[in-house]
Amino acid sequence: MCAAAAAAATAGIISPPTPSLLWANTRATFVSFPRRSPPTTSLLSASSAPAPAPPSANPKYHNAKVNAGDEEVDGEELLQRFRREVARAGVMEEIRWRRRHEDARDKRKRKARSAARRFRRRHFKGPYPFGDEQEPKEGIMEDDKHDNWELPGGELPSYR
Amino acid sequence: MTKAIPKIGSRRKVRIGLRRNARFSLRKSARRITKGVIHVQASFNNTIITVTDPQGRVVFWSSAGTCGFKSSRKASPYAGQRTAVDAIRTVGLQRAEVMVKGAGSGRDAALRAIAKSGVRLSCIRDVTPMPHNGCRPPKKRRL
C-alpha cells in the first residue's frame, strides 16, 4: 500500500498538472507525514522519491484567490477583495446547492431563479425612444427664417 | 460557558526502537515560526484552524471545541473568532498565506479575526472541494 502510494506520487510528479496531480498531492501529503511512523524500509523507499510539493503550491488548486503582490496590503482591504472574488466566482451558491441532492424539478427551479436574479441585476444600455414632446423643440431649432440673425442693410444712422 | 483547556502540541516523530518512550516527546507548547500557512476549515457544525509551516507540517491547531464551546455553540461566529485568535496568538506568525475551506458560519468571523490580527497576508484562497459531478449527495431533508 505504501509502495502503491509512492508510485502514485511519482506518477503525479512526472505528469503535467492534471487532476491526478491534485489527488497525488493529497495522498503524498498524507504519506509524507503519517501519524504513526512507518518502518525503515518504507522510509527509505519514500525518501528515494523526490519530495512532492504541498497542495498550496499548486496554482490550479483553488476556487477563488487574491494575491497581495509585492506591496504591503492591509489585511482588511485584502479580505474585502477576497470576499468580492468569492461572490463573483459563485462559490457560496455552489456549496449550498451541492449540499443536498436535487431532482429535475429542483434543478429547473434553481436555474430559473438564478436567471431571474441575473436579469434583475442587468443594466439597461439601449437607445431611448423619443416622445411626442420632442417635436416642437426640434421645430424651433430647425427654423432658420425667424431667428433674426441677419443685420439690416444700408448705412447705420448717424447720431449727430 | 467558555473555559481554558490545556492543549498538547503536535507529536514529534518517534523511531521504532523508542516507541515505548513516545510520551516524552510530546510538546507542551507550539513551535513558534515566522512564516506559515493558516488553514481555515469552517464546516456547518465546527470551525478548525490549523497553522502549518510553508512545507505543510502542522505547527498548531485549534478548534471551537478546544476553546470550550459545545454542541450548537461550536457553529457560532464567535466560536470561529475565538478559535482564530487562539491559533494565531499561540504561534506568533508574522507573514502567512490563508487557505479557506467550507462555508460554515465561523468562516467570515475567522477571516476577519485573521485580517485584524496584524499578520501580513500574502495570499488568501478558497480551496473548498467541489465535485465535478461525483457521487450522489444525500437526499433533501424534509422538515
pLDDT in tens, A17-56: 445 444 444 444 444 444 445 454 444 444 445 555 555 5
For residue A72, give how far its alpha carbon lies from the nearest alpha carbon of chain B (Å). 8
Task: Say if B6 falls within a structural domain.
Answer: no
List of residues 6+ apart from A15 with CB closer than 8 A = A21
A-contacting residues in B 4-63 (Cβ below 8 Å): 11, 13-16, 37, 54-58
pLDDT reading at B54 higher than 80 = yes
CB contact under 8 A, B121 and A67: no
Q: Give the confidence band of A67 by pLDDT, cuts at 50, 70, 90.
A: confident
Chain A residues lying within 8 Å of B115, measured CB to CB: 75-76, 78-79
Q: Residue A153 has what pLDDT? A: 73
Three-state DSSP state, B136: coil
Q: Closest Cα to residue B80, out of B35, B34, B44, B37?
A: B44
For residue B54, give how far its alpha carbon lies from the nearest alpha carbon of chain A (Å). 8
Our count of domains for chain B comes to 1
User: Average pLDDT of A120-143?
Assistant: 57
CB contact under 8 A, B121 and A73: yes
CB contact under 8 A, B128 and A65: no
Cell of B39: 488553514
pLDDT single digits (tens) B73-121 = 888 999 998 889 888 878 888 878 888 888 888 988 998 798 888 887 8
Decide if B96 contacts B35 (C-beta within 8 A): yes
Beta bridge partners of B36: B96
Cell of A85: 472574488
- B60/B114 Cα distance (integer angstroms): 15
Average pLDDT over chain B, rounded to an integer: 78
Domain hosting A92: range is: 73-119
Residue ranges of the alpha helices (H) in chain A? 2-14, 19-32, 40-48, 75-89, 91-98, 104-120, 134-142
pLDDT reading at A111 higher than 50 = yes
Q: Give the confidence band of B4 by pLDDT, cuts at 50, 70, 90.
A: low
Domain hosting B47: range is: 33-124
Our count of domains for chain A comes to 1
Average pLDDT over chain A, rounded to an integer: 63
Task: Say if A78 falls within a structural domain.
Answer: yes
- B110/B116 Cα distance (integer angstroms): 10
CB contact under 8 A, A67 and B122: yes
- Most distant pair of Cα atoms in chain A: their distance: 126
The span from the first CA to the last CA of chain A, in angstroms, equals 122
Q: Residue B136 has what pLDDT? A: 86
Say which residue the cell 512526472 belongs to: A14
Neighbouring C-beta atoms of residue A160, cutoff 10 Å? 2
- A136/B114 Cα distance (integer angstroms): 64
Q: Residue A113 has what pLDDT? A: 79
Task: Say if B142 falls within a structural domain.
Answer: no
Q: Residue A130 has what pLDDT? A: 54
- B10/A134 Cα distance (integer angstroms): 79
Identify the top-confidence range among A98-102, A144-148, B2-6. Answer: A98-102
**Can you say whether the dihedral through the CA atoms of A57, A53, B55, A31 is positive or negative?**
positive
Higher pLDDT, A125 or B99: B99
- B77/B104 Cα distance (integer angstroms): 9
Beta bridge partners of B2: none
Say which residue the cell 502503491 belongs to: A4
Please work out, in degrees rounded to the nearest 5, the angle formed at the alpha carbon of residue B134 by the alpha carbons of B133 and B139. Answer: 95
Q: Residue A33 has what pLDDT? A: 45
Neighbouring C-beta atoms of residue B83, cutoff 10 Å? 29
Task: Say if B9 falls within a structural domain.
Answer: no
pLDDT reading at B49 higher than 80 = yes
CATH number at residue B52: 3.30.420.80
B-contacting residues in A 42-61 (Cβ below 8 Å): 54-56, 61
Q: Residue B109 has what pLDDT? A: 92
Task: Say if B95 falls within a structural domain.
Answer: yes
In B13-136, the DSSP E strands lie at 35-42, 47-52, 58-63, 95-101, 120-126
Distance of CA B71 to CAs A131, B55, B65, B109, B110, Å?
Answer: 65, 34, 9, 18, 19
Task: Say if A100 falls within a structural domain.
Answer: yes
Task: Say if A83 falls within a structural domain.
Answer: yes
